[in-house]
């Protein structure tokens, strides 16, 4: 059964058909939630909430990209979660030592579960990217996740956030510029194939 | 290292990396990049940034997010029912406010219902009555009667029951007159009880033009067949004139100024017309029922919406 038939059956109340759609998209939706929120448990909650909400609002789906429709729902669920977090007291960006002074090393460089010497360069690079990603404003983060991480084209990304194409172009360009500024000190962590690709850029 | 390129160029380079430019735009940008080191450096940096983002590992769903029937059924189809209940409650409340406001302001209160209350009808009836009385009675005879009547018959009044017909002469009218005590006594003791039989309209009080403020009280029946021109006013101490006195047309008789000498104190000058009428009471009862029904409906639908929402969100 193709996706359109599954959607149609789900709209008529067939839960099994809907769950087949869930299985097809749950990695994508969870990945979006995790990249936006940055925590596994909260991402799980947002994913579950998005799938429940999508099931109960299936009647409002009028065609188009079902993936973009689901991504829009989970993105809104993540915004809700991030807003809730903003209302709560938050921990300082830089952790405090025993004397109450801020630790100079960035939080994302300190993993309490592992000693720094055990971290591989790849882990450091991943943590650096995730840190810079979460430093972005929410709208910029959504755009860069949709296009650069989820691999969506501009049109589908625009559909996912319910904005015009020009908005996704603008947000993406500015988000990439901010990411570049944040990651300035980590180019040496790039894998060798990345450096090779750099040399092939327009000459 | 900060570089200053325009927002437009930044978007062009970003779109170029994603192959979102058409051939003409791409060729033009490539030409500029070759000649502009700043654009070239920006392109290289954004390309690396983009590749870094692509390098992030794709997160697998840690568990199966398929919905169980319990989870799927935990949220009933609220979007259909809840707005309907909210709308019904709001509309009922709005209608209740409108009805209450109308009731309070008297807009919806029923107008006096007897045909005599209509000025045109009253005038028409008066015109029918006037020729008979004036042609059959000499003006010179009528005037003394009118002047003497209050003194000669201080406690008598002309009262006509529901079956009374327009008087054709003074003698006939006198023969039909019942004793005063019946209605007069009732009027003094219980205005509300008399009101269904008598409708008193302030604007149509018939005063005797020559009687110095004495009021002619004429009984009117609620039945539309009554033809008397004037509507009585029930007061405790107003002496009544017999119907031998020719009733002047209501529209042409000025209301005289009452003085303490000729008019006893009118503590209840006018009987409340509307609430005491049978039709008005019926309309008021209907209004009250409508208001109560609207209030109950608004409350019930509002409570149902609240309970439904709480039940849906609590699961």
Residue A87's pLDDT is 78
Residue A7: pLDDT band (50, 70, 90) is very high
User: In sequence order, what are the beta bridge partners of B207?
Assistant: B215
Q: Tell whether A85 is within 8 A of chain B (Cβ).
A: no
d(CA B16, CA B307): 55
Find which of B55, B79, B309 to mutate to test the A interface (most A CBs within 10 Å of its CB). Answer: B55
Q: Is A55's CB within 8 Å of B72's CB?
A: yes
Task: Take residue A6 and report the two structure tokens written for it.
Answer: 């599954």
Computed from CA positions of residues A158, A163, A166, A169, in that sequence, does the dihedral angle turn out positive or negative? negative
Q: Does A197 touch chain B (CB under 8 A)?
A: yes
Cα–Cα distance, A182 to A87 (Å, whole number): 26
**ipTM given for this complex:** 0.77
Q: What is the pLDDT of residues B165-215, one digit of tens each?
A: 444 444 444 444 444 444 444 444 444 444 444 444 444 444 444 444 444
Q: Within chain B, which residues score under 50 in pLDDT? A: 1, 113-116, 118, 122, 125, 131-245, 250-254, 256-261, 263, 265-266, 268-276, 313-315
List of chain B residues whose C-beta atoms are within 8 Å of the C-beta of residue A174: 7, 10
Separation between Cα atoms, residue B38 and residue B40, nearest integer Å: 5
- Residues in CB range of B169: below 8 A, 6 or more apart: B136
Distance CA B206, CA B168 (A): 19
What letter would DSSP give residue A168?
A: H
d(CA B78, CA B1): 55
CA distances from B25 to B13, B19, B216, B275 (A): 10, 11, 103, 85
Q: Which residues of A touch B57 (CB under 8 A)?
A: 126
pTM, two decimal places: 0.50
Residue B158: C-alpha distances to residues B4, B132, B142, B226, B270 (Å):
108, 17, 16, 15, 19
Residue A39 has pLDDT above 60, yes or no: yes
For an interface test with B, the pick among A6, A16, A39, A173 (most B C-beta atoms closer than 10 Å) comes out as: A173
Residue A186 has a pLDDT of 73
> In 3D, which of A198, A188, A177 has the Cα closest to residue B2?
A177
Nearest by CB to residue B65, choosing from A26, A133, A149, is A26
Q: CA B306, B309, B311 angle in degrees (round to 5)?
A: 105
The residues that bridge with A119 in the sheet, in sequence order, are none
Distance, CA of B63 to CA of B116 (rounded, Å): 86
- What does the pLDDT look like over A118-160, one tens digit per residue? 457 777 888 889 989 999 999 999 999 999 999 999 999 999 9
- Which residues from A are below 8 Å from B62, CB to CB? 30, 40, 44
Q: Which two tokens stand for residue A36?
A: 């936006």
In angstroms, rounded to a whole number, what is the distance separating the alpha carbons of residues A116 and A118?
5
Strand partners, B215: B207, B240
Residue A40: predicted pLDDT: 92
Q: End-to-end CA distance of chain B, in Å?
A: 54
């Amino acid at each position: 059964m193709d996706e359109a038939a599954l959607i149609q059956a789900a709209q008529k109340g067939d839960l099994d058909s809907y769950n087949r759609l869930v299985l097809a998209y749950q990695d994508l939706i969870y990945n979006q939630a995790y990249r936006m929120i940055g925590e596994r448990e909260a991402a799980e909650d947002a994913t579950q909430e998005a799938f429940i909400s999508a099931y109960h609002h299936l009647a409002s789906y009028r065609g188009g990209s079902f993936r973009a429709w689901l991504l829009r729902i989970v993105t809104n669920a993540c915004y809700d979660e991030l807003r809730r977090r903003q209302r709560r007291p938050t921990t300082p960006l830089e952790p405090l030592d025993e004397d109450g002074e801020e630790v100079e090393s960035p939080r994302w460089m300190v993993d309490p579960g592992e000693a720094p010497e055990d971290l591989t360069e790849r882990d450091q690079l991943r943590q650096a990217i995730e840190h810079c990603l979460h430093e972005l404003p929410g709208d910029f983060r959504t755009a860069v996740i949709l296009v650069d991480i989820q691999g969506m084209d501009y049109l589908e990304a625009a559909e996912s956030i319910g904005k015009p194409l020009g908005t996704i172009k603008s947000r993406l360009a500015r988000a990439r510029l901010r990411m570049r500024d944040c990651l300035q000190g980590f180019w040496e962590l790039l894998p060798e194939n990345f450096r090779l690709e750099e040399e092939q850029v327009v000459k | 290292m900060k570089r200053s390129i325009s927002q437009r160029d930044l978007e062009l380079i970003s779109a170029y990396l994603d192959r979102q430019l058409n051939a003409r735009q791409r060729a033009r940008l490539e030409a500029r990049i070759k000649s502009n080191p700043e654009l070239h450096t920006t392109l290289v940096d954004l390309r690396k940034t983009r590749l870094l983002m692509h390098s992030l590992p794709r997160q697998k769903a840690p568990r199966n997010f398929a919905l169980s029937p319990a989870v799927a059924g935990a949220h009933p189809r609220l979007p259909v029912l809840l707005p309907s209940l909210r709308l019904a409650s709001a509309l009922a409340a709005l209608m209740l406010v409108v009805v209450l406001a109308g009731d309070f302001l008297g807009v919806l209160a029923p107008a006096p219902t007897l045909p005599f209350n209509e000025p045109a009808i009253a005038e028409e009836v008066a015109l029918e009555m006037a020729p008979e009385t004036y042609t059959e009675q000499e003006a010179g005879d009528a005037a003394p009667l009118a002047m003497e009547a209050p003194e000669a018959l201080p406690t008598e009044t002309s009262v006509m029951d529901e079956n009374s017909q327009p008087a054709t002469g003074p003698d006939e009218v006198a023969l039909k007159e019942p004793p005063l005590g019946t209605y007069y006594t009732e009027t003094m003791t219980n205005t509300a009880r008399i009101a269904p039989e008598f409708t008193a309209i302030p604007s149509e009080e018939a005063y005797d033009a020559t009687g110095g403020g004495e009021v002619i009280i004429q009984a009117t029946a609620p039945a539309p067949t009554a033809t008397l021109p004037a509507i009585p006013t029930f007061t405790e101490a107003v002496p009544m004139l017999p119907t031998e006195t020719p009733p002047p047309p209501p529209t042409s008789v000025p209301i005289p100024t009452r003085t303490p000498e000729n008019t006893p104190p009118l503590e209840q000058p006018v009987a409340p017309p509307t609430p005491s009428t049978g039709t008005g009471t019926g309309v008021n009862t209907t209004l009250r029922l409508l208001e109560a029904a609207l209030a109950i409906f608004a409350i019930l639908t509002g409570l149902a919406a609240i309970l439904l929402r709480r039940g849906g969100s609590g699961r």
